[in-house]
Amino acid sequence: MVIPEAKEGKAEIWYTEYHTDDLKLSLRVKRFLHTELSRFQRIDVFESHEFGVTLALDSRIQTTERDEFCYHEMLVHPAMMTHPNPERVLIIGGGDGGAAREVLKHPTVKRVVQVELDERVVEVSKKYMPFLSASFSDPRHQLVIGDGFDYLENVTSEFDVVIVDSTDPIGEAKKLFTSEFYSGVKDSLREGGIAVGQAETPFLYPTITKGLYEVVKQVFSNVKLYLTFVPSYQSGMWSFVMGSDGKLEVDRATLEARYRERGLQTKFYNPGVHLGLSELPNFLKSLLGLE
Same domain, yes or no: 179 and 226: yes
Contact at 8 Å (CB) between 28 and 49?
yes
Instruction: Please give the Cα distance from 91 to 54 (Å, whole number).
Output: 21
Of 31, 46, 64, at which residue does a domain stop? 64
User: Catalytic amino acids?
Assistant: 165
| Predicted confidence (pLDDT) per residue in 200-244, tens digit | 999 999 999 999 999 999 999 999 999 999 999 999 999 999 999
The residue length of the chain stands at 291
Same domain, yes or no: 168 and 216: yes
Same domain, yes or no: 136 and 157: yes
The arithmetic mean of pLDDT across residues 242-251, rounded, is 97
Of 64, 90, 108, at which residue does a domain stop? 64
Which range of residues forms the domain containing residue 143?
Answer: 68-288
Same domain, yes or no: 72 and 58: no
Same domain, yes or no: 36 and 132: no
Q: How many domains does the chain have?
A: 2
Instruction: Please give the Cα distance from 188 to 51 (Å, whole number).
Output: 37
What CATH number should be reported for the domain holding residue 38? 2.30.140.10
Same domain, yes or no: 48 and 173: no
| Predicted confidence (pLDDT) per residue in 24-65, tens digit | 999 999 999 999 999 999 999 999 999 999 999 999 999 999
Same domain, yes or no: 23 and 167: no
Instruction: Please give the Cα distance from 208 to 238 (Å, whole number).
Output: 12
Instruction: Please give the Cα distance from 291 to 249 (Å, whole number).
Output: 19
Given this model, what pLDDT does residue 6 score?
A: 46
Residue-averaged pLDDT of the chain: 95
Same domain, yes or no: 88 and 210: yes
Same domain, yes or no: 123 and 149: yes
What CATH number should be reported for the domain holding residue 123? 3.40.50.150
Beta bridge mates, 194: 161, 244
Given this model, what pLDDT does residue 50 score?
A: 97
